[in-house]
A and B are shown apart, each in its own frame.
Chain A
């Protein structure tokens, strides 16, 4: 009898706790509206500080709403999101990049994210927010650009360059950069750090530094449609040349330290083992949170131009606005939108600027107060205005994840062995991509 009672009790407890667990994230608690917010950047200290502050400020101002953050690490975040969407269990609000929109929105036949046309079309948001024009899928706004944006530049350690007699302002072309890296490499220091691993940066740094600059696109010319198999651009002669150039710099010059993760590159830069680091505005906040004094020894120059077949190409690196979507499954869509809208407000943009990111409101960034208080971050704005050609983003097509994976695998092969035949590998990648686009 005792055993039966205990058994029944356990079953009842399990059932109740399962029901509570299943409903915990969705139901409102004590009259409060609960919203979940998923982001891939929460594991990075400056972003965490800002997101925490954004949410606590908003929660304090809106006592009827409680926003909770879910922040898996960058690489596992995307897999988690896929699984969550497929199981109808994603967060109410999700932060991502513009190139992710199509891939995840297409996971459900009726679309995963809420249509935001009625909230954005005809408003000042369309022109004032960087990246807002890339928030469309099939002509409809499904995302809102309200956090921050960034492009890349070359950070350098002033002390290391001074010791080696390298003047950063003299680095105008990729050949200058290559020579400087060689000069800076000795037993203790390497010119710069390069990823050769399963990390997506193994492609993106090579692409934004040199490949896309001369070829205009890895996937399609200009990364513009029509997105047909015959227009796959990866084996373009300029891309092959760029791959061989990068391969030589890493494996012949040995002026680059080959690493597994971007965080290792950053760590070595902070420890004075790497002279240059290709990074975005977020790196300012990261460096500051690591050691504010370190910032004194950090300088920034724009990405160098590329010379190819007698022609000079201005850099046109990728632009990464962090945009936000609302799930169609969100129970409180209006409240979620209110929060998104608030993130684009001046108050929130000021909080965002604290992490060293460039806030995405153009009107806010161009204010004299911002220019004066965020000099280093403002340099990125200057790069875009004066040094870089129009930025290029990955095409917004659902197949982009698969195309990116093919490129990761191809570049891993090219940059891990000096004997690797870049032309043949990129030709294979092209064929694989064509299969994807034909499917």
Chain B
């Protein structure tokens, strides 16, 4: 019996399975988070830990300086990294679209940062950032750019920018590959026709390339925002949210509140806020996907 025949025979059975999967892996965790966000769930204190507290956890959240600061940092983190991932990705895509010797190799190499696991990437960057032994400090001091070694990940002033650099490095190849694919899907005839009409290079770029890349750019842009908002690994692996909460973006705040402070009620409220932001951009993304 072929797969399609099985499906034709038990269509409702498969549908039922799908509903169970959605209930178990989507609806239950989200409902549980929402429920926890309106309950007192603080494990260090003895006594009932699931008392209904209404919106108290949310009030606590928005009066907590650390949460507000993590929101601000998340906003900066998203703005800077998405902008540079985008710009760098675009530039690299245009370069890789040119015809030159070794283009295939360059295209394969550019994907390496995107392909390697975040843990490995962060370990490499931790070594490169190291104040004592890191290559970046070696270059900085040997070329007399600065007189003293920089404590990239230990100084609250440099830790977040250092994490953003890693994020940009790790993420720009995705943009490059997507834009490159977009570039290659533009019919060559359009450029040929424009050349016949006497259009300059810039005019071709503005009137053909940019509009043709618009759909893919919008999707990539929204995906980058959603992914960066959820980013945890890079900021955590590099500096654990520190020093002095300098890299404590929203995801790390939620993680620390739950697994370090055991305040699951407030953490769930924080997670719910994160979910709302993610949903907002997901709605834009879905709309774009439908219109594309």
- A416→B44 contact, CB < 8 A: no
How close is B274's CB to chain A, nearest CB, in angstroms? 19
Contact A412 B242, CB 8 Å, known A3-B3, A196-B154 = yes
Residues of A within 8 A of B256 (CB): 405
What distance in Å separates the Cβ of B164 from its nearest Cβ neighbour in chain A? Answer: 18
Complex-state Cα separation, A399 to B46, whole angstroms:
11
Q: How far is the CA of A196 from the CA of B256 in the complex (A)?
A: 20
Q: Which residue, of B43, B243, B263, has the highest number of chain A Cβ atoms within 10 A?
A: B243
- Whether A399 lies near B154 (C-beta < 8 A) is no
User: How does the 8 Å CB contact mask read for A1-22 relative to B, with 1 for contact and 0 for none?
Assistant: 1011001000000000000000
Q: What 1/0 mask marks residues of chain B from 159 to 185 whose CB sits below 8 Å from any chain A CB?
A: 000000000000000000000000000
Most buried by B among A103, A258, A416: A416
With A198-B240, A198-B242, A405-B260: A109-B131 Cβ-Cβ less than 8 Å? no
Across the interface, name the chain B residue whose C-beta is closest to A195.
B154
A409 to B2, CA, bound (A): 61
Q: Are A268 and B156 in contact, CB atoms less than 8 angstroms apart?
A: no
A3-B2, A196-B151 known; A401 vs B131 contact (CB < 8 Å): no
Q: A260 near B: Cβ within 8 Å?
A: yes
Q: Does chain A have a CB within 8 A of B244?
A: yes
Q: Decide: A398 and B43 in contact? CB cutoff 8 A.
A: yes
A416:B260 contact, CB within 8 angstroms: no
A104 to B155, CA, bound (A): 31
**Residues of A in contact with B, size category:** 35 or more
Closest to B2 in A: A3
The CA of A416 and the CA of B131, in the complex, are separated in Å by 14
A69-122 interface (Cβ within 8 A of B): 75, 79, 82-83, 103, 106-107, 109
A40 contacts partner chain B, Cβ-Cβ < 8 Å: no
Residues of A within 8 Å of B42, CB to CB, are: 439
- In the bound complex, residues from chain A placing their C-beta under 8 Å from that of B153 are 197, 260
Q: Which of A259, A398, A412 contacts B156 (CB 8 A)?
A: A412
Q: Is B218 an interface residue (CB 8 A)?
A: no
Tell me how far the C-beta of B123 lies from the nearest C-beta in chain A, rounded to whole angstroms. Answer: 12
Mark B232-252 against chain A: 1 for CB-CB distance below 8 A, else 0.
Answer: 000000011111110000000
The residue that B44 contacts in the complex, of A79, A196, A399, A408, with Cβ under 8 A, is: A399
Is B288 part of the binding interface, using a Cβ–Cβ cutoff of 8 Å? no
- CA of A82 to CA of B261 in the docked complex: distance in angstroms? 10
Given contacts A103-B44, A196-B151, contact A409 B242 (CB under 8 A): yes
Instruction: Give the residue of A196, A260, A268 whose beta carbon is less than 8 angstroms from that of B130.
Output: A260
B residues within 8 A CB of A397? Answer: 44
Complex Cα–Cα for A235 and B154 (A):
24
Q: Given A196-B151, A398-B44, A107 and B262 touching (CB < 8 A)?
A: yes
**What mask results when residues 402 to 428 of chain A are scored 1 for a CB within 8 Å of chain B, else 0?**
100100111011001100000000000
Q: How far is the CB of A425 from chain B (nearest CB, A)?
A: 9
Determine whether A52 belongs to the interface, using a CB cutoff of 8 Å to chain B: no
Scan residues 42-84 of chain A and give those whose CB is less than 8 A from a CB of chain B.
Answer: 75, 79, 82-83
Are the C-beta atoms of A398 and B260 separated by less than 8 Å? no
Contact A4 B6 (CB under 8 A): yes
Main secondary structure of the interface of A (DSSP, over half): helix
Q: How far is the CA of A413 from the CA of B154 in the complex (A)?
A: 10
Say yes or no: is B99 at the interface (Cβ < 8 Å to chain A).
no
Question: Is residue B132 contacting chain A, with contact meaning CB distance below 8 A?
Answer: yes
* Chain B residues within an 8 Å CB radius of A399: 44
Once the chains are docked, how many angstroms separate the CA of A82 from the CA of B255? 12
Distance (whole angstroms) from the CB of B188 to the closest CB of chain A: 41
Complex Cα distance A398/B42, Å? 11
Give B258 Cβ to nearest chain A Cβ, in Å.
Answer: 9
The reply to whether A106 and B154 form a contact with Cβ atoms under 8 Å apart is: no
Determine if A197 and B243 form an interchain contact, defined as CB atoms under 8 angstroms apart: yes
Q: Is B101 an interface residue (CB 8 A)?
A: no
**A264 an interface residue at 8 Å Cβ cutoff?**
yes
B45 at the interface (CB under 8 A from A): yes
Question: Could you say which residues of chain B place their CB within 8 Å of the CB of A264?
Answer: 132
Selected contact of A416 from candidates B3, B6, B244, B261, CB within 8 Å: B244
Q: Are A109 and B49 in contact (CB under 8 A)?
A: yes
6 contacts between A and B (CB under 8 A): A4-B6, A109-B49, A196-B243, A197-B242, A198-B241, A413-B243
Q: Which residues of B contact A (CB under 8 A)?
A: 1-3, 6, 42-46, 49, 130-132, 151, 153-156, 239-245, 256, 259-263
The interface of chain A, by Cβ under 8 A from chain B, is 1, 3-4, 7, 75, 79, 82-83, 103, 106-107, 109, 196-198, 257-260, 264, 268, 397-399, 401-402, 405, 408-410, 412-413, 416-417, 436, 439
Interface contacts beyond A79-B259, A106-B46: sample of 11 additional A-B pairs, CB < 8 Å, sorted by A = A1-B1, A4-B3, A106-B43, A197-B239, A257-B132, A258-B131, A260-B131, A260-B154, A401-B262, A413-B244, A416-B244
